[in-house]
Chain A
Amino acid sequence: MNQSFQGILLFLGFFLINVSLQAQQGSYISLKQQTEILENKKKISNEVDLFYDNNKQIITKYYHSAKEFILVTNALGEIKTYYPASNEVDYKQISELSSKRNLIYYFANNLTDDLGLVDEGFNLVSNTNENQFYVTLWKAPSFLKGIETVKMVFENGLPVYSEYQASRKKIVKKTYYTNYKDFTQFRLPLKIIEISYLPSGDSIINRTLFSNIKVSSSPDGKYFNFKIPDDAKSVSIAKGK
């Protein structure tokens, strides 16, 4: 009897730990993403509410700063864009815009060692220590034209800088990951600054800010599991003409 009671207690203990871990896993992430792009002293700004379902790997973005629409992306790169005002929906398939190519996916799943470089065909060629930084160098796949290597720099195990190089001396893109915030199961940079250098000598600065971040075990946001109305009119064919 005593052994049975101990067994039940043990089972309950494991069950509670499991439930607790699942709750901490942060399967559902919602945040506000503000993106600003600066080129030639002109800037464009955009604000979006992002909802990421880490179980289904679906990203739903609600755009409201310019034109109102909802964009749903899955891991296969299937994109549905719904325009509430006109009740229209547009379907596209762009693998480069897959939810698994979004930085949220890599950070939420602690895949920060390469931030997707391996998925894109890069190979690690060297790793060194420079003061407090751990520096890795990745060789680009042959099909990626114009890029020879990517340098990734880590501090305290987190990526703080990456650099796309067309050759040893020619940098085409620098990305800085700053203002990290700790969550239970992952850490996310609240500010990402990307500087792209154009062949003309100009550069484009892309600044992304994440705020109002909520991590939960249940989908408590309005746009998690967003369903496009059945009567929405498809405009994909019309736009493709």
Chain B
Amino acid sequence: MKKLLLAIVLIASVLCVKQANASSYSVNEQAIDQLFVNAVETSMISVNATDLSSLATNVPTTVMAAQKDAVVAIVLDFFLGGLGIHRFYLGTETMTGIGYILTCGGIFGIVPLVDFVVLIIDNKDISKYVNNPKFFMWN
């Protein structure tokens, strides 16, 4: 009986998650309309022609995240690498930090040491380490 109840709860949870995902694919247009209605109109006189032309293109203009500084990451790695602070600076998953704690500072400091080396080697382009969810960011 307990197993049956557990199975029902599990199925219900899966269905709820699926439903939640599906509902997130549509927008509340009324809420958006209200935001525009309440907003203050601003003049476009200072906006130039090229700015205007880019308003409705397919260019992901707003998706570029702020650039990360390799030097900052290296310094953080040097002093606080055992806690994985440099990884959070670069952007990563919470699990990476937990992994650092569970493995006594990234397998006794080996992981931050390798991170330190690869950050120095690749200091001109550290993009592959930015928002990297892997525990071994160089892998």
Contacts and interface: CB of A to CB of B under 8 A. Distances in A.
A161 B22 CA distance: 10
A65 B41 CA distance: 13
10 contacts: A42-B41, A63-B52, A66-B47, A106-B58, A115-B58, A131-B22, A155-B25, A168-B133, A173-B62, A176-B25
B5 interface: no
B124 interface: no
A195 B62 CA distance: 10
Interface residues of B, number: 46
Contacts of A43: 36, 39-42
Sorted nearest first, the 3 A-B pairs with minimum C-beta distance are A146-B65, A196-B62, A43-B39
A130 B22 contact: yes
Given A97-B54, A130-B22, A145-B127, A166 B65 contact: yes
Contacts of A193: 27, 29, 32
Which secondary structure dominates where chain B touches chain A? loop
B42 A44 contact: yes
A17 B65 CA distance: 51
Contacts of B131: 146, 148, 166-167, 170
Which secondary structure dominates where chain A touches chain B? strand
A67 interface: yes
Interface string A184-224: 00000001110010110000111110000000000000000
A46 B65 CA distance: 27
A38 B22 CA distance: 26
A96 B59 contact: yes
A154 to B, nearest CB: 10
Interface in A16-41: 33, 35-38, 41
A10 interface: no
A136 B137 CA distance: 26
Contacts of B21: 130
B93 interface: yes
Contact of B55 (A142, A146, A206): A206
B49 interface: yes
Nearest to A204: B62
Interface in A109-162: 115-116, 120, 130-133, 142-148, 153, 155, 160-161
Interface in A81-96: 81, 90, 92, 94, 96
Nearest to A179: B29
Given A37-B55, A103-B56, A164-B60, 4 more contacts: A46-B44, A65-B44, A66-B52, A96-B54
Contacts of A164: 60, 63
Interface in B105-135: 127-128, 130-131, 133
Interface string B61-76: 0111111000000000
Contacts of A106: 58
